[in-house]
Amino acid sequence: MRSGSRKGTHRGRKPGKRSEPENPEGFTHEVDQRLYRRIWNVVDQIPHGRVATYGQVADFCGIPGHARLVGYALHNLPRGTQVPWHRVINARGQISLSDLNGMYEEQMRLLKREGVRFVKDVVDFHKYGWLAWPSGGERRKR
């Protein structure tokens, strides 16, 4: 794995700028590609004006506890993708990307354009969440 901050996983690039996916979880390349496609398919189902968390996407992909892998998959989207990567935020309701490379503002701009509102940089999951959220936390499949 390359060094650098993983908080802003896009490191100055928009999704799709890499030809070979990173393999942060140690999966084989074939498994990695299948997981990435599964993640992209779930993210592609998030409706306009709604958000989901990295953990929620991981749960729906059948890989609970692998929220970070969802971030890597979104970082490795192919060029020209229409997958709505910007609809995935962290479990605190915030954008996880660093603003050093402009991706924080880009994600916020795209979400606001879809009608998602932020209060002190936080999204209300009960109003904008993709699925129903129980009080006090995000939905988890067990």
Is 65 within 8 Å of 29 (Cβ atoms)?
Answer: no
Q: How confident is the model at residue 98 (pLDDT cuts 50, 70, 90)?
A: confident
52-53/122-123 β-pairing: unpaired
How is domain 29-128 classified at the architecture level of CATH? Orthogonal Bundle (1.10)
The DSSP annotation for 60-89 comes to HTT-TT-HHHHHHHHHTPPTT----GGGEE
2 or 133, higher pLDDT = 133
Q: pLDDT tens, 44-79?
A: 999 999 999 999 999 999 999 999 999 999 988 988
Bridge partners for 52 per DSSP: 88
Identity at 109, one-letter amino acid code: R
Q: What is the pTM of this model?
A: 0.73
Is 98 within 8 Å of 33 (Cβ atoms)?
Answer: no
DSSP state of 54: H
